Copies of this chain bind each other. A is one copy, B any other.
Amino acid sequence: MRWLPDAMGRLQAAALELFLERGYEATTVADIAERAGLTKRTFFRYFADKREVLFIGSERLVEAFVAAVTQAPAEAPPLAAMEAGLHALGDSFTAERHRFAAERAAIIASSPELQERELIKLAAMAAAAAAALRARGVGEPAATLAADAAITVFRVAFSRWVADDRPEGFRALTRESLDTLRMLAAAP
């Protein structure tokens, strides 16, 4: 078999194009492989199915997030440790990744099935974050509350990031959202 430079990236780009052109439901793996100039066999070497094109790499994101929470200074309060986790995600949500993220978000918004998958992914991320806080000695319900609040901050910052014209701004938007949450919580 000949070597294919960045077959995975080409398949991902082809899939996004087709999902946006024809819709997610109407696009098949055969369509994606054809558009990328590759075979279905090659597609399945990288992805289990067409949905995975949109979700691959999310385990790695969760790992980076959790590692940063775990490594935050021992004296950092729970939300500050979560903030360190969110900051680490900024390594992935760069200006270069902005277009992919925005297109992916539009595709997910178009499909209830994909929205469910995204919800499940975020719930798993919250559960992993709560476990990381408990490992730092944070009790319950504080660990779950801090983890879920941070995932809410992430979700809000991420959707603002993909929606607006500040591709460089994921970290700034995260800080703003967290500050807003702190302000809301401080009101009587």
Contact = CB atoms under 8 A, between A and B. Distances in A.
Interface residues of A, number: 30
A79 B184 contact: yes
Interface stretch (A15-23, A31-39, A150-158): A150-158
Residue of A78, A145, A177 with highest tally of chain B CB at under 10 A: A145
A149 B181 contact: yes
Contact of A184 (B119, B146, B152): B146
Contacts of A186: 182, 185-186
Given A141-B177, A148-B155, A77 B119 contact: no
A116 interface: yes
Instruction: Give the dominant DSSP class at A's interface.
Output: helix
A180 B120 contact: no
A160 interface: yes
A156 B181 contact: no
A187 interface: yes
B185 A182 contact: yes
A151 to B, nearest CB: 9
Contact of A141 (B148, B149, B160): B160
A172 interface: no
A91 B155 CA distance: 31
User: Closest 7 A-B residue pairs measured CB to CB?
Assistant: A185-B185, A77-B187, A148-B152, A141-B156, A182-B185, A145-B181, A119-B119
Interface of A: 77-80, 116, 119-120, 123, 141-142, 144-146, 148-149, 152-153, 155-156, 160, 176-177, 180-182, 184-188
